[in-house]
């Protein structure tokens, strides 16, 4: 009932671990697999080891909403190859998120990840507190980077989109034109929290990315708009903590959804959402999750009245 194919990936559940959350060691990824995820997206991996920003780097700003500025801390692709090989021993769909300093380094990291066993590559061109965001705000850069990487790898290529732009549709279309097999919408929203007593930003880096419940309605609208213009699959991401949140994404046009911030509640939330999805489908006489994709588009919004 929850099984689906997205590009060449076969998933037992439409729930995917979002990049940046627990996807840095095979042991933590294995626990998430056992908990019921359909696929795992690793933390964004770069060409070399990167420490990231100093603490405080993550805070809860509202109930279920967090602000983070981790700074793409990661062990580097050469060290991470071991983790990829270990998790692939379980034959589970693995999406490796990658970033680079330039097009060549993106290609190098993506190619090494594929060779190590990655089933798909997700390129991070949209982290709001790192240099890679400069790619995701420019449609021409997005097109050229996606095209260059796609020409060098044979596994599916997903592009994580930047919501901190004037027109995300143009960026998504550029990714599709460049050969992307799907897009992930959305990354975190640029935000800041200031301590009024010490009169400085709370996070050590200053600004960061907002995730969780607060951004869910924004993410749903972005997916809804993208579904009207794209021919490639959309993976919804942003504030999914209940099965109802996930259903919203599917109705808006998503083929699958990523979950990250909600895991602060514990691994049990994955099974809870999976069971909720099954119950919803059964109660509404659907046989698969794909049957509800985009159904919200069948509804016609109210037209502006003509007072002439």
Kindly compute the dihedral angle of the four CA atoms of residues 141, 142, 146, 147, in this order, to the nearest 10 degrees.
Answer: -50
Q: Which residues are catalytic?
A: 127
Kindly compute the dihedral angle of the four CA atoms of residues 230, 248, 257, 122, in this order, to the nearest 10 degrees.
Answer: 30
* CATH number for the domain running over 4-52+72-190+211-298: 3.20.20.70
- 128 band by pLDDT with thresholds 50, 70 and 90: low
Identify whether the C-beta of residue 106 lies closer than 8 Å to the C-beta of residue 149: yes
For tokens 């490639």, what's the residue?
232
The pLDDT score that the predictor gives to residue 49 is 86
- Each residue of 171-208: pLDDT tens digit? 999 999 999 999 999 999 999 999 999 999 999 888 99
Identify whether the C-beta of residue 12 lies closer than 8 Å to the C-beta of residue 278: no
- Each residue of 268-293: pLDDT tens digit? 999 999 999 999 999 999 999 999 99
- 129 band by pLDDT with thresholds 50, 70 and 90: very low
| CA–CA–CA angle 274, 183, 62 (5° rounding) | 60
The pLDDT score that the predictor gives to residue 130 is 52
Q: Find, among 8, 2, 3, 1, the residue nearest to 232 by Cα.
A: 8
Domain positions in the chain are 4-52+72-190+211-298
For tokens 């990354």, what's the residue?
187
DSSP helix/strand/coil, 253: coil
């Amino acid at each position: 009932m929850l099984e689906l194919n997205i590009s060449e990936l076969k998933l037992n559940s439409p729930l995917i671990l979002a990049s940046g959350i627990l996807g840095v060691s095979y042991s933590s990824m294995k626990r998430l697999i056992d908990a019921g995820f359909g696929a795992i997206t690793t933390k964004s991996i770069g060409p070399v080891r990167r420490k990231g920003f100093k603490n405080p780097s993550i805070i809860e700003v509202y109930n279920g909403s967090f602000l983070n500025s981790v700074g793409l801390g990661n062990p580097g692709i050469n060290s991470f190859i071991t983790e990829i090989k270990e998790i692939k021993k379980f034959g589970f769909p693995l999406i490796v998120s990658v970033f680079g300093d330039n097009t060549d380094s993106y290609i190098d990291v993506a190619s090494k990840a594929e060779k190590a066993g990655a089933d798909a590559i997700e390129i991070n061109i949209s982290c709001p507190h790192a240099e890679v965001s400069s790619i995701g705000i420019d449609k021409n850069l997005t097109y050229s980077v996606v095209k260059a990487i796609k020409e060098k790898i044979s596994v599916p290529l997903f592009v994580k989109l930047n919501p901190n732009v004037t027109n995300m549709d143009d960026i998504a279309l550029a990714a599709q034109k460049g050969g992307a097999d799907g897009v992930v919408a959305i990354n975190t929203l640029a935000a800041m929290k200031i301590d009024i007593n010490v009169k400085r930003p709370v996070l050590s880096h200053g600004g960061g990315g907002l995730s969780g419940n607060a951004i869910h309605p924004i993410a749903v609208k972005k997916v809804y708009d993208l579904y009207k213009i794209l021919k490639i699959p959309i993976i919804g991401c942003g504030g999914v903590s209940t099965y109802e949140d996930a259903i919203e994404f599917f109705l808006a046009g998503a083929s699958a959804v990523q979950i990250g911030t909600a895991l602060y509640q514990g691994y049990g939330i994955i099974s809870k959402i999976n069971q909720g999805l099954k119950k919803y489908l059964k109660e509404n006489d659907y046989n698969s999750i794909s049957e509800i994709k985009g159904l919200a588009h069948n509804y016609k919004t109210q037209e502006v009245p003509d007072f002439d």
